[in-house]
Amino acid sequence: MSTRTVNHKAWWLVLPVVLLVAFNAVIPLMAVVNYSVQETFGNNEFFFEGVRWFEQVMQSPRFREALTRQIAFTAIVLAIQVPLGVAIALAMPHKGWGVSVCLVLMAMPLLIPYNVVGAMWNIFALPDIGLMGRGLNALGFDFNYTRQPTSAWITLVAMDVWHWTSLVVLLAYAGLSAIPDAYYQAARIDGASRWAIFRHIQLPKLKHVLLIAVLLRFMDSFMIYTEAVVLTGGGPGNATTLLSIDLVKIALGQFDLGPAAAMSLIYFLIILLLSWLFYTVMTKDEER
């Protein structure tokens, strides 16, 4: 029988963080919940509406279209960034001065503020003066992201890939660097090919790192707002009006606080559900 004494005094060190999280997250969340079940016409007068706003949002074609665009955008960027990030991490040097240079170059896009990224790509992709836009048109492509939905989507995806692939690269590189050299030595003795080493050694060892990368990129891409609104503003038309942009339009543009609050809670629950599904699917083999 263990006689070890457990000291719970360390929890007092965590208390300030808990209080800060409660103030910054729980209290605003309760305010949103309050608005989601009530209607107000000003003068601090509220009228209970029950689940009316939730039903209105769920039955709205506008919400379903924005959600479809959001899911499509997230699926596209994840399908590009995760394989590309792993490929770049595999190609990076693991010894010498090149390591520091590559890590600094990879970290640079992550240091740029979101609004600056949107402004940079806004100018970069302009069809008349932008290097990317003018270059594509000079090559014979009809490119104008301010008028063409396809061009707008290409620009939006390219911007996100440029901005956030570095995160996957850094995580994958850290995972690769943590693999003991003994595994590679055994593979060389067995005459394993480069593909066999990746499939049987590197990829299984990167599983937990890739889980973190996928979850982080999923949550961030599903909540993208600043870069997208600075780049396209949701246009042309509603072609790039993602869920976050549509939510802000309802809340601040139309000032429909009830539907906006209900939509934000549905948005929050969708992110939680999909994140849980990602985590469950990627860790199901470990539970067996």
Q: What is the mean pLDDT of residues 130-145?
A: 92
Q: What are phi and psi of 105, to 5 degrees?
A: -65, -40
- The answer as to whether 11 is a domain residue is no
pTM across the whole model: 0.88
Question: 174 and 217 share a domain?
Answer: yes
Q: Give the per-residue pLDDT at 2.
A: 55
Q: Give the per-residue pLDDT at 33.
A: 87
Question: 129 and 205 share a domain?
Answer: yes
Q: What's at 86, amino acid-wise?
A: V
Quote the CA–CA distance of 260 and 284 in Å, as a whole number.
36
Please determine, for residue 285, whether its predicted confidence score (pLDDT) is greater than 80.
Answer: no
Question: 251 and 263 share a domain?
Answer: no
- The answer as to whether 4 is a domain residue is no
Question: 39 and 77 share a domain?
Answer: no
Quote the CA–CA distance of 273 and 281 in Å, as a whole number.
12
Please determine, for residue 69, whether its predicted confidence score (pLDDT) is greater than 90.
Answer: yes
- The answer as to whether 64 is a domain residue is no
Question: 127 and 85 share a domain?
Answer: yes
- The answer as to whether 148 is a domain residue is yes
Q: Is 116 within 8 Å of 108 (Cβ atoms)?
A: no
Model confidence over 79-131: pLDDT tens digits?
999 999 999 999 999 888 888 999 999 999 999 999 999 999 999 999 998 99
Question: 125 and 186 share a domain?
Answer: yes
Question: 178 and 86 share a domain?
Answer: yes
Quote the CA–CA distance of 172 and 213 in Å, as a whole number.
8
Quote the CA–CA distance of 191 and 71 in Å, as a whole number.
43
Please determine, for residue 284, whether its predicted confidence score (pLDDT) is greater than 80.
Answer: no
Question: 281 and 249 share a domain?
Answer: no
Question: 146 and 172 share a domain?
Answer: yes
- The answer as to whether 8 is a domain residue is no
Question: 214 and 272 share a domain?
Answer: no
Indicate the number of domains in the chain. 2
* Domain, as residue range, for 134: 70-255
- The answer as to whether 22 is a domain residue is no
Model confidence over 189-241: pLDDT tens digits?
888 888 999 998 999 889 889 989 999 999 999 999 999 999 999 989 899 99
Q: What are phi and psi of 191, to 5 degrees?
A: 75, 30
Taking all residues of the chain, what is their mean pLDDT, rounded to a whole number? 89
Model confidence over 177-187: pLDDT tens digits?
999 989 989 98
Model confidence over 228-262: pLDDT tens digits?
999 999 989 899 999 999 999 998 888 888 899 99
Question: 179 and 276 share a domain?
Answer: no
Question: 201 and 282 share a domain?
Answer: no
